Amino acid sequence: MKIGWIGTGVMGCSMAGHVRDAGHDLFLYNRTREKAQRLIERGGRWCDSPAEVARNAEVVFTIVGYPRDVEEVYLGNEGILSAGGQCRTVVDMTTSSPGLAVRIAEAASHKGIASLDAPVSGGDIGAREATLAIMVGGDRDAFERVLPIFRLMGKEISLMGGPGAGQHTKMCNQILVAGTMIGVCESLLYASKQGLDEEAVIGVIGKGAASSWLINNLGPKIVRVDYAPGFYVEHFIKDMGIALDEAAACDLSLPGLALMRQLYIAVKAQGHGRRGTQALILALRKMNGME
């Protein structure tokens, strides 16, 4: 197939690489061309705008930073939906606003284009290993058409409902990640304060009732003082903000999530917004005088 790909960052580059490795033609756009260079060297074709991608590709995937970026990529003057061409399906894999996903689906339908919102979970590791969880909202027929491509990137792929349902499911994911992350960090702080071997602690509790992807994958990074981003702190703050806005819109109180967002804002204020989410430990260490 002729596949369009917009967004070649920490996760997008690996995801698009799997598509290219499967033999599909790849049409690429990214705000910074250098970040797409590895894919260009592997046979991807550079385009100068999202509209140019859409003119060349049957299916266009996007994974960018913020809802404002999604809106510009789809609905802007040089956006995907401004173009003619052969594009018949668009798939936004950004974690974004459910309401925006509905708007894009409505705008796409007026052009005879099917739209799926398909955010992912699994971070840079899942993107590299093609083991992402992909949660999808939109039309079932469009989902079935795109499913073979999804399977190049992920293992757990589910249609959750109509437009916006994928994004709502991702909000559930991020709420759980937020609560689990503070448990990981506080557990390792306690281990450190008590003089325990933190790696040994992870080896034990990571196999019991407290086991989670976060303790087993990000816990060792914390011990190694490795804060390289698999997912940026600033993007996680964005996601939690979306979840809190959606919760407020349906009169739902999520005090744990609100606390976590404030802690991550503190991490960003300390200059760590472009580090991985495991950098939460830095704010907690400072709070406890353990720097």
Provide the CATH number for the domain around residue 133. 3.40.50.720
Which residues does residue 89 pair with via DSSP β-bridges, in sequence order? Answer: 59, 114
Same domain, 71 and 123: yes
Q: Has residue 291 got a pLDDT over 80?
A: no
Same domain, 138 and 199: no
Q: pLDDT tens-digit profile of 150-189?
A: 999 999 999 999 999 999 999 999 999 999 999 999 999 9
Same domain, 173 and 203: yes
Same domain, 64 and 127: yes
Give yes or no for a contact between 138 and 157, defined as CB atoms under 8 angstroms apart. Answer: no
Same domain, 278 and 149: no
Same domain, 153 and 97: yes
Same domain, 209 and 125: no
Same domain, 33 and 128: yes
Which residue numbers are catalytic? 170
- Strands 132-138 and 120-121, how do they pair? antiparallel
Cβ-based burial of 219 (10 A; exposed 0-12, middle 13-18, buried ≥19): buried
Same domain, 130 and 246: no
Tokens (6 digits) for 30: 């990214």
Please give the Cα distance from 85 to 136 (Å, whole number). Answer: 25
Q: pLDDT tens-digit profile of 179-238?
A: 999 999 999 999 999 999 999 999 999 999 999 999 999 999 999 999 999 899 999 999
Which helix (H) or strand (E) segment holds residue 281: the answer is helix 280-287
Q: What is the DSSP letter of 153?
A: T
Kindly report whether the global pTM for this prediction surpasses the value 0.85. Answer: yes
Same domain, 186 and 212: yes
Give yes or no for a contact between 135 and 96, defined as CB atoms under 8 angstroms apart. Answer: no
Tokens (6 digits) for 275: 């580090």
Same domain, 6 and 144: yes
Q: Which SS3 state, helix, strand or coil, does residue 275 take?
A: coil
Question: How many domains are contained in the chain?
Answer: 2
- The closest of 102, 109, 113, 112 to 161, measured between CA atoms, is 102
Provide the CATH number for the domain around residue 231. 1.10.1040.10
- Average pLDDT of the residues in 40-64: 97
- The closest of 34, 33, 29 to 7, measured between CA atoms, is 29
Same domain, 104 and 224: no
Give yes or no for a contact between 283 and 236, defined as CB atoms under 8 angstroms apart. Answer: no
Q: Which of 161, 191, 209 is the last residue of a domain?
A: 161
Give yes or no for a contact between 44 and 17, defined as CB atoms under 8 angstroms apart. Answer: no
Give yes or no for a contact between 199 and 221, defined as CB atoms under 8 angstroms apart. Answer: no
Q: Has residue 86 got a pLDDT over 90?
A: no
Q: How confident is the model at residue 84 (pLDDT cuts 50, 70, 90)?
A: confident
Range of the domain at 236: 168-287
Please give the Cα distance from 65 to 247 (Å, whole number). Answer: 21
* Alpha-carbon distances, residue 197 vs 201, 211, 284, 285 (angstroms): 6, 18, 19, 17
Q: pLDDT tens-digit profile of 138-150?
A: 999 999 999 999 9
